[in-house]
Amino acid sequence: MTARPDWIQLFLDTPAGAYDEAVAFWSAVTGWTPSERRGEDGQFLTLLPPGGAAYVKVQAVDGPAGVHLDLDSADRPALAERSRELGATVAWRYHDVEVMRSPGGLVFCHTLVDGEPSLVRDGSTVLDQVCLDIPAARWESEVAFWSGLTGRGVQVGTLPQFARLVEYGRLRILLQRLDEPDGPVRAHPDLATADRAADTEEHVRLGARLEEVFDHWTVLTAPGGQVYCLTDRDPATGSAADV
């Protein structure tokens, strides 16, 4: 059987100087409780949802804000080998964790799965998706890589610049083809909301900066520099009609 992740976690990499402010913001907009800080310098914490397994973590970093993924599996060596077969390269090692880059340069880590985790929805606004922002020259190779590694089939919506990799009870992956001709792949978090206007107002009140409003999503910047989107998707299912 081909190795694939059992669970995917989203890391919000946040400049150390804005860490406390960012944690307070993300805890408020998700309704999730910050864990105790851990790591050699207290650089990690987890946002704990009221139900289901945790899958969003905040990490203090020396550089700019960004996103990386942890791919949890029971057999890390097999999944790491599968990643290399599909075109990933080794970036560095953190203790026993192998850190890699996708063919387009997105950082991800191979970590051990804990139990049989599942994403639980209660119908309220939820951070349930990571969007991979892919320059045009990287599109085909990156879509093939993430589909092959996760074992998820590619779903194409009505908007041609988007594709989805979806598995029930897991973090959704949205792939977005950018107008940029080339460059590194990056990522941002997406929240599903039934009332985008009200959530936008609340997020701005809590410290976010409104960037741009589109037909089906709104782009904001969180305290600490994380760009993210509020999207018109059903929070109870994660599904969207048009993207």
Confidence check: pLDDT of 130 > 70: yes
Segment 167-175 mean pLDDT: 97
Q: Where residue 49 falls among pLDDT bands split at 50, 70, 90? A: very high
Segment 107-112 mean pLDDT: 97
pLDDT tens digits along 69-90: 999 999 999 999 999 999 999 9
Q: Where residue 243 falls among pLDDT bands split at 50, 70, 90? A: low
What b/e readout covers 126-159, taking b as 16+ CB neighbours within 10 angstroms? bbbbbbbbbbeebbebbbebbbbbbebeeeeeee
pLDDT tens digits along 56-74: 999 999 999 999 999 999 9
The answer to whether 7-112 and 126-231 have equal CATH topology is: yes
Confidence check: pLDDT of 145 > 60: yes
**What residue spans define the domains of the chain?**
7-112, 126-231
Return all residues near 201 (Cβ < 8 A) that are at least 6 apart: none
In three-state secondary structure terms, 214 is coil
Entry pTM: 0.96
CATH fold label, 126-231: 2,3-Dihydroxybiphenyl 1,2-Dioxygenase; domain 1 (3.10.180)
Architecture of the domain whose range is 7-112:
Roll (3.10)
166 and 119 in contact (C-beta within 8 Å)? no
Whole-number average pLDDT of the chain: 96
Confidence check: pLDDT of 240 > 70: yes
